[in-house]
Structure 1
Amino acid sequence: MGILLLLLLTFNGCSSEEFRKHDSLETAEADQAQVDRASEKENNQVPTGNQEVVSEKWLAHYINGQQVGYDHETQIEQSSGKEKQLLTTQTSKLQLLRDGQPFSIEAKVEELLDANGQLVSFVTSTKMSGVDLVYQGKWLEKEETLQLQILRSGQVTKTTNIADRGEDGLLGVDRSCRDQPLKPGEQRVLRVFDPVLLHWVFVYLDAQSWETTKLLKGEKRLLRVKMRHSSNLLEPGNKDGGVFRAEFWIDKEGEILKTVDATMGMTSYLVDSLEEANDTTKPPSFDLLQATLIRLNARLDRPFQTQSMVYAIELKDGKPADFFAIGGNQTLEPSADNPQKAKLTVRAVSLPINSKERESISAGEEGEPSPADSQPNDWLQSKDPKIRELAEAAKKLISPESELTEDAQLAVALEKQVYRWMTTRNYSQGFASAVEAANSRTGDCTEHAVLLAALARASGFPARVAAGLVYTEHKNRPVMAYHMWTEIWLDGRWIPFDATIGQGEIGAAHIKLAESDLAGNSPMAAFLPIVKLMQRLKIEFSENEVLYKK
């Protein structure tokens, strides 16, 4: 279920009313046709040769009682020479709304194990707005390494190796429960390969007790199991809180009949057929954007002209200091009475930076740039001719009357270039690379952020993306929405820029959770802080503690 949640986040970018005016249904409709064709092809597949279907199952996904998609899983036993192998294929499909617009997501995981249950190879693929993103891995026996390749639209963009075969493959949770059903009070630690983050992670299972459980059809007495999926390679027993937390219920044979994730509240039920799993008689009704907005208690007149703001933060569980970026223009004061509450102060960073601001905001708190902040990668192709062309053209946008330093003037011009270049604001874009955004001129906040970061690196500035929250208004109500913007290293510190606004500074209405150089195998890791906070965060502010720029 983790891959579905992170894919949902890539579609949950900007939410301003201005963006909504430019949205188009064409991409979503094209994606839906793609999904339908893939579904038809998949349902007509028949194993050939030395293959035997061992099992097949369907899962129906619901959010708030509304059906949003399904999973189809098949297990095929096949022969490779004298050795038998087990091929598991899991296809996930979701049909949702985003601010009233329909869009679809399709993800597929294929895992091949040898007779001893060891990983032989895997392929994970996603379809997002016409771009096929494929991760594939193969265990190289002679080299004793797991070779990973990333393909975008059929082209290999990166190859890397991991000297670790792991123990439980990609789909080890279901397999472990079936092979050795859990008992009440039992705890189990698995190490599985995360097809989104592209590394091995620990999964902790904690069996509770047998209880009467409501299913789609009637009730059954099932064993409840708590699951926590870590965000990185930690030693077993390290209580990091986990990225994905869920509960599932199993029968005496260890079959998982129901799962509820703690992030989006998605509930999945084991069903008997495609007809039950995919109810095509009803149009999509769950709106992802509206479900993830955080309502505020007051409205800001000029959010991007704020000089400083003080936010009251409250989490359902956890400490705010573990989730919010501290340093630079953000400071956090934990509550003495309640560890789940804190006061977050955000100050605007303006150009040029005067000496007083240099004293009050230490550049060292955020850390100096690393080599990865200046180098091209699969998502920020700063040496691509198109990127260099746009970066060079931005120099024409420099204002001769500006009092900023030359570097600051160029950075502002780069932001303005992206703001003008991106002509179509499209919610269904997903997470495109800088070159894809430059060529399509389409996207939301993620495309604006990566394109500006790439232009900045092409111009000689270290740059990275920041993920967090931004003030906006939705249906005339003040809210905080999940967002991504860019940070550029200028004057010895990180300066935030938001190319969706294009005004050269962002004010105090942006709350930063984390930053990323996007140099890793998967850009989805940039969304992990957001995943951890979803459905857990309450934010308020006092209008008396809002200071506007003069």
Structure 2
Amino acid sequence: MRRRLAAVAVLLCLTATSALADQRWMTVLLDGRKVGSLQIDRDQAGDKVTTTQVLNFRLTRVHTPILLETRIKTVESPLGAPLAFYASTNMSSQQNLVEGQVRDDGAFQVANTVGGQSKVNLLIWPTGASLAEGQRLSMLAHGFKPGTTYQIRNFDAVKQQVANIQVVVIGDEIVDMPDNRQETLHHLRQSLVGASGDRSVDVWIDNEAYIRRGISPLLGFRLEMAACSEACAKAPDQDVDLLRAAMIQSPRPMVMGLRAAPVRYTVTVRGNFPEPFVETDEQHVSSIGDGVYIIDVGFGHMASDEAAPSPEDTAPNAWVQSDSPKIRAFAQQITGDANSDLQRMRRLRSYLSDYISRKGLDVGYASALETMDSRNGDCTEHAVLLTALARSLGIPTRVVTGIVYAERMGGATRVFIPHAWTQAFINGRWISFDSAQRRFDSTHIALGIGNGDPWRFFAAMSTLGHITINRAIAGSNLMDLPMPSGMTANIGGGKGSD
């Protein structure tokens, strides 16, 4: 799965401000191993302050290098008023672009290009939200007295969303920096308001509120950025396989007979993650305390009170382009004379299992249109395209993020790996369809639900690196959960899941 997306999100949080000098550099580390660099340019000309950040990030995925460049430019007034923002990312073979310009009435005209398809919309600027220079000025205005607490509203140009950040001033510290230097800096702790669990980011800033160092947890790694010379930032990167780090050892071989029947898991989650798993019509979650959970997968209709579809489950978005004539025509071609939504979903799932013929380990996160054209990708491309095709036919669908069992992956055996699949609302319940695995079974454990946006995907993956699966017991061995009638219809492609 796309662990690099999560890394980019954390890095974007850490790089909220730039330095006053024309150009500065930072090195990017995971547990002390260099994986990238950040170049920051700041230019103040007249009544405009332009900040440009270029992040280069390199990881490996089953020995396949993954290269990522994210470029963000913000234009503001000297007092931090937003004037324009630009962002480009290469999560896949195509560049994704965002361009926003303020209009005379104060609103922003925003153009988004994803997978080669462009859309223009109007953005009413969120009250109190700020870009790079405005965030720096806010931190500077609140000062650096230990114990000071305040909130700032950071606008993310890539996601075009506002993050409400709680800031606590820890105090002044002497900090070891690259190039054998030490600096006296102000230590701040930033956390997302309302977020569950401990997902804080520690930053160290200088007297002008420019970030000099930042640390955040990532999948059990320590993600760090530190200011250094250009030569230091451009030093050769080292291999870090985040997919391997995200794997979870299975407590037993999950043979096909076991996977096709209901399974009860006992799982331990380390750290502060109040709701690490989601309740669905196919998965029931019970907390028994101290970070231990019982997860039942496949025991019939598990959650009769799960929410019905929301407007988001039928709407197109930048990644799930279900309103594209190409997507709609493709879906109609595949489903043909199918006379029910269940039959349509089965035909879509079956067709995509063969249609996406190249497993692209170097693909970051491609949109539905791009995957339709390239026929390249892995589970997220399968899930996003299947979701788009289904929505184009009016079937409510959503993307599930979780883990699934693999007998072998990247040199490891009997592990659970990051995964994504699709759920469709059919006959009053949510049913899973997995075109990447060709079938949904009881080794699919759901961590989160989203609309196909990559940022929803990585948010649900925050617990990876903190999970241990202690036991996996076949439902037939449980005395307290009788086998429901029609069980085989709910697992493995019968009446229900596919």
TM-score tier after normalising by the smaller chain length: 0.7 to 0.9
| Corresponding residue of 2:354 | 420
Q: For residues 368-517 of structure 1, what are the structure 2 equivalents within 5 Å? A: 368-395=308-335, 406-472=340-406, 473-474=408-409, 475-503=411-439, 506-517=440-451
Q: Provide the C-alpha distance between the structure 1 equivalents of 2:77 and 2:62, rounded to a whole number of angstroms.
A: 45
Cα distance between partner residues in 1 of 2:207 and 2:4: 28
Looking at structure 2, the residues matched to 256 and 7 of structure 1 have their Cα atoms a distance apart, in angstroms, of 18
For residue 546 of structure 1, report the CA deviation from its aligned partner: 7.6
SS at 1:533's partner residue?
Answer: coil
- Aligned mates of 2:139, 2:23 — CA distance in 1: 16
Could you report, residue by residue, the CA deviation over 1:185-214 in whole angstroms, capped at 9, with x for unpaired residues? 222311110234322221122122334433
Which residue identity lines up with residue 376 of structure 2 in the other structure? T
CA contact (8 A) 1:469 1:481 kept: yes
SS in 1 for 2:22: strand
Q: Which position in structure 1 is the counterpart of 2:45?
A: 78
CA contact (8 A) 2:61 2:243 kept: yes
**Among candidates 455, 459, 466, match of residue 524 of structure 1:** 455
Q: Write the distance in 1 (CA, Å) between the matches of 2:207 and 2:394.
A: 61
Does the aligned pair in 2 maintain the 1:229–1:243 contact within 8 Å? Answer: no
Letter in 2 for 1:278: K
Deviations 1:60-97 (A, max 9, x none): 00112211001111110113xxxx11001111011221
Corresponding residue for residue 198 of structure 1: 160
Partner residue, 2:284 = 331
CA deviation vs aligned residue, 1:368-425 (integer Å, no higher than 9, x gap)? 2234423444333334344344334434798xxxxxx954333212101000111111
* In structure 2, distance between residues paired with 1:61 and 1:303: 45
Once the two structures are superposed, the pairs formed by residues 134-283 of structure 1 within 5 Å of their partners are 134-142=97-105, 144-152=106-114, 156-164=118-126, 166-170=128-132, 172-177=134-139, 181-216=143-178, 217-230=180-193, 239-241=194-196, 245-252=200-207, 254-263=209-218, 264-273=221-230, 275-280=231-236
Q: Does 1:311 align with 2:265?
A: yes
Question: Which secondary structure state, in structure 2, belongs to the residue aligned with residue 268 of structure 1?
Answer: strand
TM-score by length of 1: 0.76
Alignment of 1:290-309 (within 5 A): 290-302=244-256, 305-309=259-263
Cα distance per residue 1:414-448 (max 9 Å; x no partner) = 10100011111102222222121111101111110
CA distance 1:162–1:214, change in 2 (3 Å) = same
What SS does the corresponding residue of 2:366 show, helix, strand or coil? Answer: coil
Residue 172 of structure 1: how far off its partner (Å): 4.7
Within the candidate set 12, 15, 27, 1:60 is matched to 27
TM-score (norm 2): 0.84
Partners of 2:9 and 2:336 lie apart in 1 by 36
Question: In the TM superposition, what whole-angstrom CA distance separates every residue of 1:484-536 from its partner, at most 9, and x where no partner exists?
Answer: 10111222211100001223xx1111111222234xxx542343121x32333
Output the aligned Cα RMSD. 3.0
8 Å CA contact 2:197–2:271 kept in 1: the answer is: no
Distance 2:430 2:253 in 1: 28
Change (3 A) 1:171 1:324: farther
Distance 1:407 1:313, change over 3 A: same
Match of 1:39 in 2: none
Q: 1:335 to 1:302 in 2, by over 3 A?
A: same
The answer (yes or no) to whether the contact 1:310–1:546 under 8 Å persists in 2 is no
For 2:90, the aligned partner's letter is K
The answer as to 2:298 corresponding to 1:347 is yes
5+ residue gaps, structure 2: 11-19, 478-482, 489-498
Find the aligned partners of 1:425 and 1:298 in 2 and give their Cα distance.
Answer: 27
Please give the alpha-carbon distance, in whole angstroms, between the structure 2 residues aligned to 1:122 and 1:8. 18
Q: May I ask how many residue pairs the two structures share in their alignment? A: 464
2:494 is aligned to none
2:213, 2:225 within 8 Å by CA — same for their partners in 1?
Answer: yes
Specify whether residues 460 and 178 from structure 1 end up closer, same or farther in structure 2 by C-alpha distance, changes over 3 A only.
closer
Q: Which runs of 5+ in 1 are unaligned?
A: 11-52, 231-238, 349-356, 399-404
Change (3 A) 1:156 1:544: closer
Q: Contact (CA 8 Å) 2:115, 2:367: kept in 1 or not?
A: no
Deviations 1:192-237 (A, max 9, x none): 102343222211221223344332224444443211134xxxxxxx
CA 1:171–1:290 in 2, change beyond 3 Å: closer, same or farther? farther
Residue 262 to residue 215, structure 1, CA distance change in 2 (3 Å):
same
Q: Conserved in 1, the CA contact under 8 Å of 2:49 and 2:133?
A: no
* Structure 2 SS opposite 1:507: coil
- On the 8 A contact 2:198/2:273 being kept in 1, the answer is no
Q: Is the 8 A contact 2:88 2:158 kept in 1?
A: no
Q: How many angstroms apart in 2 are the aligned matches of 1:391 and 1:138?
A: 36
Distance 1:159 1:242 in 2: 34
Quickly say closer, same or farther: Cα 1:302–1:546, change in 2 above 3 A. farther
